[in-house]
Every structure is written in structure tokens, then in C-alpha cells.
A and B are shown apart, each in its own frame.
Chain A
Amino acid sequence: MAEFSWDVRSPLERALIAGPYGAQGDSGVALTEIRNFDLVQVMARRGKAGEMIAAAKARFGVAAPETPKAIGTSDASLIWSGPDQFLVLSKGGKHSIEALAPVFAGSASLSDQSHARALISVSGDKARAMLAKLSSIDLHSDVFGVGAAAATSMDHTSVTLWRGADRNGQAVFNLLVFATFAESLWHTILDSTAEYGVTIGHSEEF
């Protein structure tokens, strides 16, 4: 009989090898997989979008995004994922699906995506140059500023892309990808980033 391992593992556990990759010297890109997060999809029920937004405001102190953007609170990010729907990204269980169920009772349907997506953070000098090979979206700061978000595709794979707070004066791009597509997209990202040199790692911190 087959033996199964039920340990919780990252979808990138096999593909991700921490350390330098590609061109030698100063790495132009930092690629960090963020592990162990809570992710809940919130979708308004028919005719209840207003109630859903009010419920989000009561819970998080900010209105849910109604246009493509990501809104950060002290302990969660609300990321637009389509009309009348958004994702709640957090960690530590405070905004898990169990915690959010009573908040959105009657106004929205929730679905737990915590183990259904991989979260990859891209930063560094050449982050935008690398992403330009994969994305047809204009990621220039004038157009795609901090907090901008997009439901889009990279290498024919659906992703949720948003720009987080700058780190060390540099843009940080986050992308959520379906777990089963994560390894494929990861290899495409490595191919695209090799010429710039990349530092690969993983973290439990956003």
C-alpha cells in the first residue's frame, strides 16, 4: 500500500533551493517565498456587496477594495480579486476562515485558500525588468504604485499580483499563484531572472 505523508508542505518545497542563482556578482533580484499564511477568499452574495463591504470595514477598520488594489491593515491585507470579491491575507490564525465566518455571515461566501496558493515576493533593482518578461501589465511606479493590484496572467497562469510597501527604497511585488501551478511558474521566473542574478530564500514573514 502506498504511504502518504500528511505533513503540511510548501508547493515550492521541491523547486526552491535557497541561495544564489544565475549571474554572479550583485544579485539584481530577490525572490522570497512566503510560507505559512492564512488566505481567505471573500465573495459577496447576490445583491449583498454593500453589506460585505460594511462588514469588512467593521472588522478591519478599512473598506474592502472595490477596485484593483491591496489595502494593508495592521495585521491583514485585503486584496481585490475581481468584482465584488477580495482576498484576506494574514497569519497566525487571527483572520482564518473560522474567525471570519461570523463576520461575513449572510453577506459573503468564504473559501479557505491558505494551502491552495503559493505566495512569492519579488524585489530588487531588476524586479520590474524581470517581471516585464512575464507580465503584460505596465508596472512602472507612475502607473502601478504601492497598493496597486491586478488579477492577471503570467506565462498563461492566473496570478494575483500586487505591490506591497517599499523595502529599502525598492518596490516589492507580491504574487499569489495556484499551488499546482507554482512550480511551473517558479521555473519560468528563474529562467527570466537568471541574467540579473538572484538571491532565493523563503520566509514566514510578509
Chain B
Amino acid sequence: MRITCPFCGERELGEFTYLGDAKPQRPSADAGEDAVYDYVYLRDNIAGVMSEHWYHGGGCRAWLKVTRNTLTHEISAVEAAAGAGAAKVGA
């Protein structure tokens, strides 16, 4: 499997580290215990297209958001995660 880093180009899997599901969003401070429990512990086990976080630690050290089919490993999109690169503030 190879990932095309938006900053570096196509690179081998060994340069990247998998973080996991990119979908969960930190709940607001008053969201309640169930929402925090869900955010911290509960994950969907997706067979199909999934949005994931990957870290290009063996390269440019940017966090990436990768859209990958977990059944075929086909990657349909890679973009910089929010905050990657100081220029992309708030992106």
C-alpha cells in the first residue's frame, strides 16, 4: 500500500503511522458523560470506505486525512488534516 502525501508525493506505507477513525469530533464541554464515552471509546468497525488519520512521521511529519476502503485498501482521497502546516490555520 502506498499513500500519496499532499506535501511529499507517493510514499511507501512504512513512512506512515495509522491513528484511526477521523470522524469522531470532541464533544462540547457540557455534552454529558455518554457523549464523551462515545468519543473516547466507541468506534465503528467499518467494512468499506472510511475516513482515517495517518501520520507521515517518516517524512514531512504532517497529519493526513485519508479516505480508504478497508476491504480493498483502495485510497480515494488524501488531504492535510486540520492544522497541518502553519499556513492552513483553521482549515
A interface residues, Cβ below 8 angstroms from B: 43-50, 68, 81-84, 136-137, 150-153, 156, 158
A81 and B11 contact, CB distance less than 8 A = no
CA separation between A45 and B86, bound complex, in Å?
Answer: 6
Residue pairs across A and B with Cβ atoms less than 8 A apart, 25 shown, are: A44-B85, A44-B87, A45-B86, A48-B86, A50-B87, A81-B60, A82-B7, A82-B60, A83-B7, A83-B80, A83-B86, A83-B87, A83-B88, A136-B11, A136-B14, A137-B11, A150-B59, A151-B60, A151-B61, A152-B11, A152-B58, A152-B59, A153-B15, A153-B59, A156-B14
Query: What separation, in Å, do the CA atoms of A43 and B8 have in the docked complex?
Result: 17
CA distance A44 to B86 in the complex (A): 6
When the two chains form their complex, are residues B8 and A150 in contact, meaning their CB atoms are under 8 A apart?
A: yes
Q: State A84–B59 Cα separation when bound (angstroms).
A: 14
- Contact residues in A for B85 (Cβ distance below 8 Å): 44, 49, 82-84
Q: Are A151 and B87 in contact (CB under 8 A)?
A: no
Rounded to whole Å, the gap between the CB of A5 and the closest CB of chain B is 33
Whether A152 contacts B86 by the Cβ 8 Å rule is no
CA separation between A204 and B89, bound complex, in Å? 40
**Chain B positions near chain A (C-beta within 8 angstroms):** 7-9, 11-12, 14-15, 57-62, 80, 84-89
Q: Are B62's CB and A158's CB within 8 A?
A: no
Q: Which residues of B contact A50 (CB under 8 A)?
A: 87
> Out of B15, B62, B88, which one reaches A152, CB within 8 Å?
B15
A136 and B86 alpha carbons, distance in the complex (Å): 28
Counting residue pairs across A and B whose Cβ atoms lie within 8 Å, the total is 62
Majority secondary structure, B binding face: loop
Instruction: Kindly state the separation between the CA atoms of A47 and B89 in the bound complex, as whole angstroms.
Output: 6
Known: A152-B15, A153-B15. A49 touches B58 (CB 8 A): no
A contact residues around B61 at 8 Å (CB): 82, 151
Option from B15, B57, B80, B86 in Cβ contact (under 8 Å) with A46: B86
Minimum CB–CB distance for B87 against chain A, Å: 4
Name the one of A84, A136, A150, A156 contacting B87, with C-beta atoms under 8 angstroms.
A84
Distance (whole angstroms) from the CB of B83 to the closest CB of chain A: 9
| Known interface pairs A151-B60, A156-B14; 18 further A-B residue pairs with C-beta atoms within 8 A, sorted by A's residue number | A45-B86, A46-B86, A47-B87, A68-B8, A81-B60, A82-B60, A83-B7, A84-B86, A136-B12, A137-B11, A150-B8, A151-B61, A152-B11, A153-B14, A153-B15, A153-B59, A156-B58, A158-B57
Contact yes or no, A83 B84, CB < 8 A: yes
Instruction: Given A83-B7, A136-B11, answer yes or no on A43-B58 (Cβ-Cβ < 8 Å).
Output: no
